[in-house]
Amino acid sequence: MSSFGLLAAIWPLTTLGHYVSWHVIQISVANLIVIILMVVTFIVALFAPFPGRRRRKENP
């Protein structure tokens, strides 16, 4: 194996992209996944308790 082979990605995403179409909207599956992850992160941030909450409760 060449030294460049060692540097290659495990699952390179270089194949032709996949797209989702709905009326005027066209979005790549990769972008859709990123947007869903961002929305999930936002929701988790809303509902996840603040770090240190338990400690504050123990030492009011």
What residues line the site for other proteins (CB under 8 A)?
Answer: 8-19, 24-31, 33-35, 46-47, 50, 53, 56
CB of 8 to other proteins, least distance (A): 7
Q: Which of 45, 11, 8, 46 is nearest to 30 (CA)?
A: 11
Query: How many CB atoms neighbour CB 26 within 10 A?
Result: 10
As measured in angstroms, the least distance from the Cβ of 24 to other proteins is 5
Question: Which CB, 2 or 14, lies closer to other proteins?
Answer: 14
Beta-strand pair 19-22/25-28: antiparallel
DSSP annotation of 2 reads -
Minimum CB separation of residue 35 from other proteins in Å reads 6
